[in-house]
Amino acid sequence: MNAQTILRINKLKSLRDLEIAASHDTRSFVTPNASPDKNVVILTGPTTTVEVVKLTREKIGSQKIRKNAVLGAEIILSASPEYFRPDNPASYGQWDEHKLNLWQKVSNNWLEKILGNNIVQTSLHLDEATPHLHCLWVPLNKAGKLSYKTTEFGGTRDNLSKIQDSYAQALEPLGIERGVKGSKTTHTKIKQYYQAVNTAIQEPLVTEQLFPEAKDKETATQYRKRAIQQAEPHWELIKLQLAQIQMLQKERDTYRQKAMAAEKQRQAFSEKANLALDLTTGLLKTLIPLATTITSLSPNGRVDGKEWSFSRKTEVIFVHRHSDNFKMSLNPSNLIQVATKLKPQEIKGLQDLSILMGRWLEAKYSLYKNTEQNSL
């Protein structure tokens, strides 16, 4: 299977949503599905969550913001594991360094070309199963107005399809293909993306990561307040984990149902194929006695028509169609072998030939009956 592009987009409808996304992208707090001994590299923009939110505010400026406006957006770019580790796609957390550098450069250039000055931050994640880029950006249209709908990404599904096409074209020189266009597969939201880039959902955060140790002379009220402040950012990740688990269970059930349906379809196709083979073999069985009878009436065992010619030597029948030079030799021992190789148009032609043979014999028989009656 060839490597395919991965592109996911998520709308961020509040600064709080943006803050959570930036906290994840910069690893401002513990991320359960990330390996602590590997890197997240900030390629463009601020390195902290606070600075990301501040820069977003600056890009929006003083313009009036609608109540339902999209304040930011996030793009995740990647490729299927077959590109990063072609020899062993299942080796999660590993990659070919040269391939990674090429993909990163092309993807980053594509982001800058598409989004330009709207980019707030771009980060390269190397601490999960498969390398991928996160890009946070402000949806300002060409007039500088905050309006996701009037950017290249908004409006219709066709716009998103064009974005997918554009990214696929950029990666084409690397041997990475676009996913199936117009596929009926349900679009994967950003929160569901981690099923693709991570090998599994890890265990929830342990208590020690969520809650701090109590300080000397600290009251219960003070500890409670401090513990809530420290644990609050992690709730989003915990909810994300639970959502992912539910999503994976739902998709597992869906795939099981699809597999069962596919097996039923395969069996149906197999039954149709067997039936077609039986019918074709039966047709060939009919041709042998018809051709044998007709050629026996010919002095040289051969009949030449405008469209068809056939002849008989011992038990073998030779059939020839003049229009396309289709030739076939037939005997009782090779019926199935011949039947499996025939093309649909050839089968149709043999059906027509069989009908012609039958009519010819009927005409001959009628002529014989009339001659016999006249002689009486």
User: Which sequence spans correspond to the domains of the chain?
Assistant: 5-190, 280-375
> Tokens representing 359?
């009519």
How much is the mean pLDDT over the chain? 80
CATH of 5-190, one of 3.40.190.10, 3.30.1120.80, 3.30.750.24, 3.30.930.30: 3.30.930.30
Q: Pick from 338, 358, 359, 352: which is nearest to 284 by CA? A: 338
Residue 290's H or E segment, with its range, is helix 220-296
Q: Which amino acid is at 314?
A: T
135: which strand partners? Answer: 75, 122
Per-residue 3-state assignment (H helix, E strand, C coil) for 346-372: HHHHHHHHHHHHHHHHHHHHHHHHHHH
Report helix, strand or coil for 335.
helix
315, pLDDT greater than 90: no
State mean pLDDT over 339-343. Answer: 87
235, pLDDT greater than 70: no
Residue reference for tokens 């219709």: 156
Burial code (b: 16+ CB inside 10 Å, e: under 16) for 59-93 equals bbeeeeeeeebbbbbbbbbbbbbbbbbeeebeebb
Q: What band does 186 get if pLDDT is binned at 50, 70 and 90?
A: very low
Q: Do residues 42 and 136 lie in contact, with contact meaning Cβ atoms separated by under 8 Å?
A: no
Q: Do residues 282 and 351 lie in contact, with contact meaning Cβ atoms separated by under 8 Å?
A: no
Q: Residue 334 CB: number of other CB atoms within 10 A?
A: 13
Q: Enter the DSSP assignment of 14.
A: S
Highest mean pLDDT: which range of 54-63, 179-188, 298-307: 54-63
pLDDT of residue 118: 94
CA distance 72 to 218: 40
pLDDT of residue 267: 82
Q: Do residues 12 and 72 lie in contact, with contact meaning Cβ atoms separated by under 8 Å?
A: yes
Q: What band does 237 get if pLDDT is binned at 50, 70 and 90?
A: low
State mean pLDDT over 82-98. Answer: 83
Report helix, strand or coil for 183.
coil
How far is C-alpha 50 from the chain's CA centre? 38
- More confident: 37 or 245: 245
- More confident: 246 or 131: 131
Which of 71-75, 257-261, 320-324 has the least mean pLDDT?
A: 257-261
Beta strands (DSSP E) in 40-106 are 40-44, 72-79
Report helix, strand or coil for 213.
coil
194, pLDDT greater than 50: no
